[in-house]
Amino acid sequence: MWSGRPDVELCAVPHPSSRDERKLLEEWGAAVARLRGLVTPDGDGDHSAANYGTTFTEADYAAIPRRDLPFGAPAFLGDDAWVRQGPEGAHNAVGRPSPDDGHTLIWRAPQGAGGP
């Protein structure tokens, strides 16, 4: 729907917050492989780095830079590593109610930061 979009390859992939890990990894992996054949890497670039695997690892995650978060956001916001290290096996600190109303997000905070 981007008016004026140039005639370039478009790869539709699930949003990174997708709940279907298998589909997310498969479709992003296929898109990366396809785009590597279409995009010329920068002179100092390397397009032969590892692609996505069959499961997420901690190396697949990165904290959101503080400059990209709103002023006054709590210090823990933007880095969910503490959740992935927990016993629940969760991937992030954000969830939706069940049944999902399509509007509500539930954020968990680490202990000592006003959370459980």
On the question of a cis peptide bond just before residue 99, with omega within 30 degrees of 0, the verdict is: yes
pTM for this predicted structure: 0.61
The predicted pLDDT at position 115 comes to 46
Number of Cβ within 10 Å of residue 108's Cβ equals: 18
Number of Cβ within 10 Å of residue 75's Cβ equals: 10
The predicted pLDDT at position 68 comes to 95
Convert the pLDDT of each residue in 39-56 to its tens digit. Answer: 888 888 888 888 888 888
What average pLDDT does the chain have? Answer: 85
Residue 84 has pLDDT above 60, yes or no: yes
Mean pLDDT within 81-104: 83
The backbone region for 30, taken as left when phi is positive above 0, alpha when psi lies in -120 to 50, beta otherwise, is alpha
The predicted pLDDT at position 34 comes to 94
User: What H or E segment, with its residue span, contains residue 94?
Assistant: strand 94-95
